[in-house]
Protein backbone atom coordinates (compact mmCIF):
# COMPACT_ATOMS: atom_id res chain seq x y z
CA UNK A 1 0.00 0.00 0.00
CA UNK A 2 1.36 3.42 -1.01
CA UNK A 3 0.06 6.89 -0.20
CA UNK A 4 -0.48 7.63 -3.91
CA UNK A 5 -2.69 4.55 -4.31
CA UNK A 6 -5.04 5.39 -1.46
CA UNK A 7 -8.57 6.50 -2.29
CA UNK A 8 -8.98 10.26 -2.46
CA UNK A 9 -12.64 10.04 -1.61
CA UNK A 10 -13.32 11.54 1.81
CA UNK A 11 -16.21 9.64 3.42
CA UNK A 12 -15.83 11.20 6.86
CA UNK A 13 -14.86 14.82 6.84
CA UNK A 14 -14.95 18.04 8.80
CA UNK A 15 -16.72 16.65 11.87
CA UNK A 16 -17.49 18.43 15.12
CA UNK A 17 -14.48 16.74 16.79
CA UNK A 18 -11.83 18.78 18.58
CA UNK A 19 -9.06 20.12 16.36
CA UNK A 20 -6.30 17.53 16.14
CA UNK A 21 -8.49 14.58 17.11
CA UNK A 22 -6.88 11.28 16.13
CA UNK A 23 -10.09 9.32 16.73
CA UNK A 24 -11.67 11.30 13.91
CA UNK A 25 -8.59 10.52 11.78
CA UNK A 26 -9.01 6.80 12.53
CA UNK A 27 -12.57 6.85 11.16
CA UNK A 28 -11.52 8.83 8.08
CA UNK A 29 -8.68 6.39 7.31
CA UNK A 30 -10.89 3.33 7.85
CA UNK A 31 -13.51 4.58 5.42
CA UNK A 32 -10.81 5.28 2.83
CA UNK A 33 -10.09 1.54 2.86
CA UNK A 34 -13.67 0.26 3.03
CA UNK A 35 -15.17 2.72 0.55
CA UNK A 36 -18.85 3.37 0.08
CA UNK A 37 -19.98 -0.21 0.32
CA UNK A 38 -20.07 -0.29 4.10
CA UNK A 39 -22.32 0.29 7.07
CA UNK A 40 -21.07 1.79 10.35
CA UNK A 41 -22.20 1.18 13.90
CA UNK A 42 -21.21 3.78 16.48
CA UNK A 43 -22.21 3.54 20.14
CA UNK A 44 -22.30 6.51 22.52
CA UNK A 45 -18.81 8.02 22.31
CA UNK A 46 -16.91 10.96 20.81
CA UNK A 47 -17.45 9.78 17.23
CA UNK A 48 -21.24 9.62 17.51
CA UNK A 49 -21.24 12.90 19.42
CA UNK A 50 -19.27 14.75 16.77
CA UNK A 51 -21.31 13.24 13.92
CA UNK A 52 -24.95 13.62 14.78
CA UNK A 53 -26.14 17.19 14.37
CA UNK A 54 -29.31 16.78 12.36
CA UNK A 55 -29.56 17.40 9.46
CA UNK A 56 -25.79 17.45 9.07
CA UNK A 57 -23.33 14.60 9.36
CA UNK A 58 -19.68 14.12 8.42
CA UNK A 59 -20.47 10.49 7.43
CA UNK A 60 -20.96 9.83 3.71
CA UNK A 61 -21.87 6.17 4.34
CA UNK A 62 -24.80 4.81 6.35
CA UNK A 63 -24.18 4.83 10.09
CA UNK A 64 -26.33 4.01 13.05
CA UNK A 65 -25.87 5.16 16.62
CA UNK A 66 -26.15 2.21 18.97
CA UNK A 67 -26.75 1.77 22.68
CA UNK A 68 -23.45 2.03 24.55
CA UNK A 69 -23.22 -1.68 25.42
CA UNK A 70 -24.50 -3.10 22.15
CA UNK A 71 -21.89 -2.46 19.43
CA UNK A 72 -21.00 -6.14 19.09
CA UNK A 73 -24.64 -7.23 19.03
CA UNK A 74 -25.52 -4.63 16.39
CA UNK A 75 -22.55 -5.66 14.22
CA UNK A 76 -23.58 -9.34 14.35
CA UNK A 77 -27.22 -8.51 13.69
CA UNK A 78 -26.56 -6.30 10.67
CA UNK A 79 -24.03 -8.78 9.32
CA UNK A 80 -26.53 -11.64 9.77
CA UNK A 81 -29.10 -9.63 7.84
CA UNK A 82 -26.68 -9.02 4.97
CA UNK A 83 -25.73 -12.71 4.92
CA UNK A 84 -29.40 -13.66 4.69
CA UNK A 85 -29.80 -11.33 1.71
CA UNK A 86 -26.67 -12.62 0.06
CA UNK A 87 -24.85 -9.32 0.47
CA UNK A 88 -21.72 -10.41 2.28
CA UNK A 89 -19.79 -7.97 0.07
CA UNK A 90 -20.95 -5.12 2.33
CA UNK A 91 -18.49 -4.36 5.14
CA UNK A 92 -20.00 -3.89 8.58
CA UNK A 93 -17.75 -1.83 10.82
CA UNK A 94 -18.06 -0.61 14.40
CA UNK A 95 -16.24 2.37 15.93
CA UNK A 96 -16.24 2.04 19.67
CA UNK A 97 -14.23 3.99 22.24
CA UNK A 98 -12.07 2.40 24.89
CA UNK A 99 -14.82 2.59 27.51
CA UNK A 100 -17.36 1.19 25.07
CA UNK A 101 -15.00 -1.69 24.31
CA UNK A 102 -13.11 -2.69 27.42
CA UNK A 103 -15.81 -1.91 29.99
CA UNK A 104 -19.44 -1.53 29.01
CA UNK A 105 -19.44 -3.28 25.63
CA UNK A 106 -17.16 -6.18 26.45
CA UNK A 107 -19.82 -8.86 26.85
CA UNK A 108 -21.49 -7.89 23.60
CA UNK A 109 -18.10 -7.91 21.83
CA UNK A 110 -17.36 -11.32 23.32
CA UNK A 111 -20.73 -12.67 22.19
CA UNK A 112 -20.28 -11.22 18.72
CA UNK A 113 -16.84 -12.79 18.21
CA UNK A 114 -18.30 -16.08 19.45
CA UNK A 115 -21.20 -15.71 16.99
CA UNK A 116 -18.78 -15.76 14.07
CA UNK A 117 -20.45 -13.25 11.75
CA UNK A 118 -18.31 -11.10 9.45
CA UNK A 119 -17.57 -7.65 10.85
CA UNK A 120 -14.74 -5.30 11.74
CA UNK A 121 -14.76 -4.00 15.29
CA UNK A 122 -12.55 -0.96 15.66
CA UNK A 123 -11.72 0.17 19.15
CA UNK A 124 -10.26 3.66 18.97
CA UNK A 125 -8.41 4.04 22.20
CA UNK A 126 -8.13 7.55 23.62
CA UNK A 127 -7.56 6.01 27.04
CA UNK A 128 -10.57 7.45 28.90
CA UNK A 129 -14.29 8.18 28.58
CA UNK A 130 -13.52 11.41 26.75
CA UNK A 131 -16.93 12.38 25.47
CA UNK A 132 -18.41 12.73 28.94
CA UNK A 133 -15.44 14.60 30.39
CA UNK A 134 -12.32 12.41 30.70
CA UNK A 135 -13.35 9.73 33.21
CA UNK A 136 -10.99 6.74 33.64
CA UNK A 137 -11.77 3.55 31.75
CA UNK A 138 -10.38 0.02 31.81
CA UNK A 139 -7.91 1.18 29.16
CA UNK A 140 -6.59 4.25 31.00
CA UNK A 141 -2.91 3.50 31.58
CA UNK A 142 -1.27 3.33 34.99
CA UNK A 143 -0.15 6.76 36.13
CA UNK A 144 -2.62 8.92 34.16
CA UNK A 145 -4.84 11.50 35.78
CA UNK A 146 -8.46 11.78 34.69
CA UNK A 147 -11.35 13.68 36.21
CA UNK A 148 -12.22 10.60 38.29
CA UNK A 149 -8.57 10.03 39.24
CA UNK A 150 -7.55 13.67 39.72
CA UNK A 151 -4.06 14.84 40.72
CA UNK A 152 -2.35 14.31 43.09
CA UNK A 153 -3.95 10.86 42.65
CA UNK A 154 -3.68 8.89 39.42
CA UNK A 155 -4.96 5.75 37.78
CA UNK A 156 -3.51 2.80 39.68
CA UNK A 157 -4.67 -0.06 37.44
CA UNK A 158 -2.86 -0.99 34.26
CA UNK A 159 -4.45 -1.13 30.83
CA UNK A 160 -6.57 -4.18 30.10
CA UNK A 161 -4.87 -6.27 27.46
CA UNK A 162 -7.76 -6.29 24.98
CA UNK A 163 -5.76 -8.12 22.34
CA UNK A 164 -5.21 -11.08 24.62
CA UNK A 165 -8.90 -11.00 25.60
CA UNK A 166 -10.07 -11.20 21.97
CA UNK A 167 -7.31 -13.71 21.19
CA UNK A 168 -8.78 -15.98 23.84
CA UNK A 169 -11.89 -16.21 21.64
CA UNK A 170 -9.81 -17.74 18.81
CA UNK A 171 -10.64 -14.69 16.68
CA UNK A 172 -9.49 -15.14 13.05
CA UNK A 173 -7.90 -11.68 12.86
CA UNK A 174 -6.99 -9.02 15.42
CA UNK A 175 -4.44 -6.22 15.44
CA UNK A 176 -3.19 -3.16 17.26
CA UNK A 177 -2.47 0.04 15.37
CA UNK A 178 -1.90 3.75 15.83
CA UNK A 179 -3.13 6.70 13.77
CA UNK A 180 0.45 7.98 13.50
CA UNK A 181 1.21 4.94 11.29
CA UNK A 182 -1.62 5.30 8.76
CA UNK A 183 -0.36 2.78 6.18
CA UNK A 184 0.13 0.11 8.84
CA UNK A 185 -3.37 0.82 10.17
CA UNK A 186 -5.02 0.85 6.75
CA UNK A 187 -3.31 -2.37 5.74
CA UNK A 188 -4.77 -3.99 8.83
CA UNK A 189 -8.25 -2.70 8.01
CA UNK A 190 -7.86 -4.10 4.47
CA UNK A 191 -6.75 -7.47 5.84
CA UNK A 192 -9.64 -7.54 8.33
CA UNK A 193 -12.03 -6.73 5.50
CA UNK A 194 -10.91 -9.84 3.62
CA UNK A 195 -11.67 -12.16 6.55
CA UNK A 196 -15.05 -13.85 6.44
CA UNK A 197 -15.58 -13.68 10.18
CA UNK A 198 -15.22 -11.41 13.20
CA UNK A 199 -12.17 -9.13 13.33
CA UNK A 200 -10.89 -6.64 15.90
CA UNK A 201 -8.54 -3.68 15.48
CA UNK A 202 -7.38 -1.67 18.46
CA UNK A 203 -6.09 1.70 17.33
CA UNK A 204 -4.37 4.09 19.71
CA UNK A 205 -5.79 7.55 19.05
CA UNK A 206 -4.09 10.43 20.90
CA UNK A 207 -6.61 12.93 22.27
CA UNK A 208 -5.34 16.51 22.70
CA UNK A 209 -8.25 17.44 24.97
CA UNK A 210 -8.00 14.50 27.34
CA UNK A 211 -4.25 13.95 27.37
CA UNK A 212 -3.24 17.58 27.53
CA UNK A 213 -1.15 18.46 24.48
CA UNK A 214 -1.44 20.95 21.61
CA UNK A 215 -3.60 19.73 18.69
CA UNK A 216 -0.77 19.89 16.15
CA UNK A 217 1.20 17.28 18.11
CA UNK A 218 -1.41 14.49 17.81
CA UNK A 219 0.63 12.53 15.26
CA UNK A 220 3.89 13.07 17.13
CA UNK A 221 2.34 11.77 20.37
CA UNK A 222 1.28 8.50 18.74
CA UNK A 223 4.75 8.10 17.29
CA UNK A 224 6.26 8.66 20.73
CA UNK A 225 3.94 6.04 22.23
CA UNK A 226 5.23 3.46 19.75
CA UNK A 227 8.87 4.55 19.90
CA UNK A 228 8.87 4.38 23.68
CA UNK A 229 7.50 0.84 23.63
CA UNK A 230 4.37 2.05 25.39
CA UNK A 231 2.32 0.79 22.44
CA UNK A 232 3.19 -2.02 20.06
CA UNK A 233 2.00 -2.49 16.50
CA UNK A 234 1.14 -6.16 16.15
CA UNK A 235 -1.17 -8.43 14.26
CA UNK A 236 -2.73 -11.72 15.26
CA UNK A 237 -3.72 -13.98 12.41
CA UNK A 238 -5.02 -17.47 13.15
CA UNK A 239 -3.33 -17.48 16.53
CA UNK A 240 0.08 -16.23 15.31
CA UNK A 241 1.29 -12.91 16.73
CA UNK A 242 3.48 -10.83 14.44
CA UNK A 243 5.06 -7.41 15.00
CA UNK A 244 4.17 -5.30 11.97
CA UNK A 245 6.37 -2.32 12.72
CA UNK A 246 9.49 -2.11 14.86
CA UNK A 247 10.41 1.51 15.59
CA UNK A 248 13.88 2.30 14.34
CA UNK A 249 14.35 4.80 17.13
CA UNK A 250 13.88 4.08 20.84
CA UNK A 251 12.70 6.81 23.18
CA UNK A 252 12.25 6.70 26.90
CA UNK A 253 8.76 6.58 28.31
CA UNK A 254 9.73 9.69 30.34
CA UNK A 255 9.96 11.62 27.07
CA UNK A 256 6.50 10.41 26.01
CA UNK A 257 5.02 11.30 29.39
CA UNK A 258 6.62 14.75 29.44
CA UNK A 259 4.83 15.66 26.20
CA UNK A 260 1.40 15.55 27.87
CA UNK A 261 -0.08 16.92 31.06
CA UNK A 262 -1.92 13.83 32.33
CA UNK A 263 1.28 12.20 33.67
CA UNK A 264 2.60 15.39 35.26
CA UNK A 265 2.23 14.27 38.86
CA UNK A 266 4.41 11.15 38.51
CA UNK A 267 7.78 11.26 40.24
CA UNK A 268 10.96 10.26 38.35
CA UNK A 269 11.05 7.07 40.44
CA UNK A 270 7.52 6.17 39.44
CA UNK A 271 8.29 6.77 35.77
CA UNK A 272 11.40 4.61 36.11
CA UNK A 273 9.26 1.84 37.55
CA UNK A 274 6.90 2.12 34.57
CA UNK A 275 9.87 2.00 32.20
CA UNK A 276 11.13 -1.18 33.90
CA UNK A 277 7.70 -2.77 33.52
CA UNK A 278 7.57 -1.84 29.85
CA UNK A 279 11.04 -3.31 29.26
CA UNK A 280 10.05 -6.47 31.13
CA UNK A 281 6.85 -6.92 29.14
CA UNK A 282 8.61 -6.21 25.90
CA UNK A 283 11.18 -8.89 26.72
CA UNK A 284 8.36 -11.30 27.51
CA UNK A 285 6.76 -10.50 24.13
CA UNK A 286 3.41 -9.52 25.57
CA UNK A 287 1.06 -7.66 23.28
CA UNK A 288 0.67 -4.47 25.26
CA UNK A 289 3.53 -3.12 27.20
CA UNK A 290 1.64 -0.30 28.84
CA UNK A 291 2.90 -0.24 32.41
CA UNK A 292 2.61 -3.02 34.98
CA UNK B 1 -31.03 -15.98 -1.99
CA UNK B 2 -31.88 -12.84 -3.91
CA UNK B 3 -30.06 -9.55 -3.91
CA UNK B 4 -32.44 -6.89 -2.75
CA UNK B 5 -30.12 -3.91 -2.28
CA UNK B 6 -28.64 -2.75 -5.58
CA UNK B 7 -25.01 -1.62 -5.76
CA UNK B 8 -23.14 -0.01 -2.93
CA UNK B 9 -25.29 0.67 0.10
CA UNK B 10 -24.47 4.36 0.29
CA UNK B 11 -26.40 6.93 -1.69
CA UNK B 12 -24.79 9.82 0.22
CA UNK B 13 -27.82 12.00 0.76
CA UNK B 14 -26.37 13.86 3.71
CA UNK B 15 -25.74 17.52 4.30
CA UNK B 16 -22.03 17.71 5.06
CA UNK B 17 -20.68 19.50 8.10
CA UNK B 18 -18.24 22.35 7.43
CA UNK B 19 -16.37 23.29 10.54
CA UNK B 20 -13.96 25.78 9.01
CA UNK B 21 -15.45 28.65 10.98
CA UNK B 22 -13.93 27.17 14.13
CA UNK B 23 -10.52 28.52 13.21
CA UNK B 24 -9.35 31.92 12.05
CA UNK B 25 -5.91 30.71 11.01
CA UNK B 26 -5.45 28.48 7.99
CA UNK B 27 -2.56 26.59 6.39
CA UNK B 28 -0.94 28.18 3.35
CA UNK B 29 1.74 26.74 1.07
CA UNK B 30 4.76 29.01 1.42
CA UNK B 31 7.66 26.71 0.54
CA UNK B 32 8.32 23.93 -1.96
CA UNK B 33 5.80 21.11 -1.82
CA UNK B 34 7.26 17.80 -3.01
CA UNK B 35 3.82 16.17 -3.14
CA UNK B 36 4.70 13.52 -0.56
CA UNK B 37 1.06 13.53 0.68
CA UNK B 38 1.97 13.22 4.36
CA UNK B 39 -0.12 16.26 5.28
CA UNK B 40 -2.96 14.85 3.17
CA UNK B 41 -3.03 11.50 4.93
CA UNK B 42 -2.71 12.99 8.44
CA UNK B 43 -5.36 15.74 8.17
CA UNK B 44 -8.17 14.55 10.48
CA UNK B 45 -10.75 16.65 8.66
CA UNK B 46 -10.05 15.52 5.12
CA UNK B 47 -9.57 19.21 4.32
CA UNK B 48 -6.55 18.70 2.04
CA UNK B 49 -6.87 17.65 -1.58
CA UNK B 50 -4.39 16.76 -4.29
CA UNK B 51 -3.67 19.02 -7.23
CA UNK B 52 -2.18 16.42 -9.57
CA UNK B 53 -1.49 18.98 -12.33
CA UNK B 54 0.65 21.27 -10.20
CA UNK B 55 1.89 18.39 -8.02
CA UNK B 56 0.99 20.14 -4.82
CA UNK B 57 -1.71 20.05 -2.16
CA UNK B 58 -4.73 22.33 -1.76
CA UNK B 59 -6.35 23.37 1.50
CA UNK B 60 -10.08 23.67 1.92
CA UNK B 61 -10.62 26.54 4.35
CA UNK B 62 -14.28 25.67 4.80
CA UNK B 63 -13.38 22.30 6.30
CA UNK B 64 -10.03 23.02 7.95
CA UNK B 65 -10.08 23.50 11.71
CA UNK B 66 -6.59 24.91 11.90
CA UNK B 67 -5.19 22.13 14.08
CA UNK B 68 -1.72 22.62 12.60
CA UNK B 69 -0.96 18.91 12.11
CA UNK B 70 -0.12 19.49 8.42
CA UNK B 71 2.34 22.24 9.34
CA UNK B 72 4.12 20.05 11.87
CA UNK B 73 4.20 16.89 9.76
CA UNK B 74 5.35 18.45 6.47
CA UNK B 75 8.93 17.20 5.96
CA UNK B 76 9.95 20.22 3.87
CA UNK B 77 8.39 22.81 6.17
CA UNK B 78 6.40 24.12 3.20
CA UNK B 79 3.23 24.99 5.14
CA UNK B 80 2.63 27.98 7.39
CA UNK B 81 -0.39 29.08 9.35
CA UNK B 82 -1.78 32.46 8.42
CA UNK B 83 -4.88 34.54 8.83
CA UNK B 84 -6.70 34.64 5.48
CA UNK B 85 -7.69 37.93 3.88
CA UNK B 86 -11.16 39.19 4.69
CA UNK B 87 -12.88 37.87 1.54
CA UNK B 88 -11.30 34.41 1.79
CA UNK B 89 -12.65 33.59 5.23
CA UNK B 90 -15.15 30.74 5.46
C1 LIG C 1 -25.66 3.07 29.20
C2 LIG C 1 -25.02 4.42 29.09
N3 LIG C 1 -24.27 4.88 30.12
C4 LIG C 1 -23.67 6.08 30.04
C5 LIG C 1 -23.79 6.85 28.91
C6 LIG C 1 -23.12 8.21 28.85
N7 LIG C 1 -21.98 8.21 27.96
C8 LIG C 1 -22.09 8.58 26.68
S9 LIG C 1 -20.64 8.57 25.84
C10 LIG C 1 -19.81 8.11 27.24
C11 LIG C 1 -18.32 7.95 27.22
C12 LIG C 1 -17.78 7.10 26.11
O13 LIG C 1 -16.45 6.78 26.36
P14 LIG C 1 -15.59 5.89 25.38
O15 LIG C 1 -16.33 4.68 24.99
O16 LIG C 1 -14.24 5.72 25.96
O17 LIG C 1 -15.48 6.78 24.06
P18 LIG C 1 -14.86 8.25 23.94
O19 LIG C 1 -15.86 9.21 24.51
O20 LIG C 1 -13.58 8.26 24.68
O21 LIG C 1 -14.71 8.45 22.48
C22 LIG C 1 -20.68 7.95 28.32
C23 LIG C 1 -20.28 7.55 29.67
C24 LIG C 1 -24.61 6.34 27.86
N25 LIG C 1 -24.77 7.03 26.73
N26 LIG C 1 -25.19 5.13 27.97
S1 LIG D 1 -12.27 14.69 23.41
FE2 LIG D 1 -10.52 13.70 22.41
S3 LIG D 1 -11.35 11.92 21.30
FE4 LIG D 1 -13.06 13.29 21.81
S5 LIG D 1 -13.36 14.59 20.00
FE6 LIG D 1 -11.98 15.69 21.41
S7 LIG D 1 -9.91 15.10 20.80
FE8 LIG D 1 -11.33 13.63 19.87
S1 LIG E 1 -4.62 22.65 9.90
FE2 LIG E 1 -5.40 20.62 10.49
S3 LIG E 1 -7.48 20.58 9.66
FE4 LIG E 1 -6.40 22.23 8.61
S5 LIG E 1 -5.60 21.30 6.76
FE6 LIG E 1 -3.96 21.21 8.30
S7 LIG E 1 -4.22 19.18 9.23
FE8 LIG E 1 -6.13 19.63 8.13
S1 LIG F 1 3.57 17.39 3.65
FE2 LIG F 1 4.49 19.24 2.75
S3 LIG F 1 5.68 18.47 1.01
FE4 LIG F 1 4.29 16.81 1.60
S5 LIG F 1 2.48 17.11 0.30
FE6 LIG F 1 2.10 18.24 2.20
S7 LIG F 1 2.79 20.34 1.79
FE8 LIG F 1 3.66 19.02 0.20
Q: Is residue B4 part of a domain?
A: no
Residue B39 is assigned to a structural domain of this protein: yes
Can you give the residue range of the structural domain that contains A212?
19-283
pLDDT in tens, A54-95: 778 899 999 999 999 999 999 999 999 999 999 999 999 999
Asked if residue A11 belongs to a domain, the reply is: no
- The reported pTM is 0.95
Counting atoms of ligand 1 from 1, which one is nearest the CA of A101? 15
Is residue A13, in this structure, part of any structural domain at all? no
* Distance in Å, alpha carbon of A239 to nearest chain B alpha carbon: 31
Does A6 fall in a domain?
A: no
| Overall domain count for chain B | 1
The minimal CB distance from A55 to the residues B15, B20, B42 is found for: B15
Residue B87: inside a domain: no
Whether A279 is covered by a domain: the verdict is: yes
User: Looking at this predicted complex, what is its ipTM?
Assistant: 0.94
> Is B63 contained in some domain?
yes
Min Cα distance A186 → chain B (Å) is 11
- Which of A16, A130, A131 has most ligand 1 atoms within 8 Å of CB, for mutation? A131
A274 Cβ neighbours under 8 A, 6+ residues apart? A142, A143, A253, A266, A291, A292
Residue A204 lies in a domain: yes
CATH number at residue A256: 3.40.50.970
Determine whether the shortest distance from the Cβ of A68 to ligand 1 is under 6 A: yes
Flag whether A288 is in a domain: no
DSSP 8-state secondary structure symbol assigned to residue B83? P
Q: Tens of pLDDT along B15-54?
A: 788 889 899 999 999 999 999 999 999 999 999 999 999 9
Q: What is the number of structural domains in chain A?
A: 1
In a domain, A191, yes or no: yes
Query: Nearest-CA residue of chain A relative to B37?
Result: A3
Q: Domain of B56: which CATH number?
A: 3.30.70.20
DSSP state of B24: S
Domain that residue B41 falls in? 20-79
B12 contacts A10? CB cut-off 8 A: no
| Residue B64 located in a structural domain | yes
Residue A103 lies in a domain: yes
Tell me what pLDDT residue B1 has. Answer: 45
Amino acid sequence: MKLKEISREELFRSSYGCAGCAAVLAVRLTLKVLGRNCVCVVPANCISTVSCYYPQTPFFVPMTVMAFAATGAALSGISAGFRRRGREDISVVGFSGDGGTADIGIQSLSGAIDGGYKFIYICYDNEAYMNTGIQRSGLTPYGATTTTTPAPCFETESKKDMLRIVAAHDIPYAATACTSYPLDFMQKVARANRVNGPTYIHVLAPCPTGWGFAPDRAIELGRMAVESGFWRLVELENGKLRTTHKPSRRRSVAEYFAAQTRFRQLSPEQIEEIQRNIDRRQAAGQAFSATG
Amino acid sequence: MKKSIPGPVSRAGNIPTRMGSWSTIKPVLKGKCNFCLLCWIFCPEGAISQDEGHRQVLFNNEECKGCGICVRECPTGAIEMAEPEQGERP
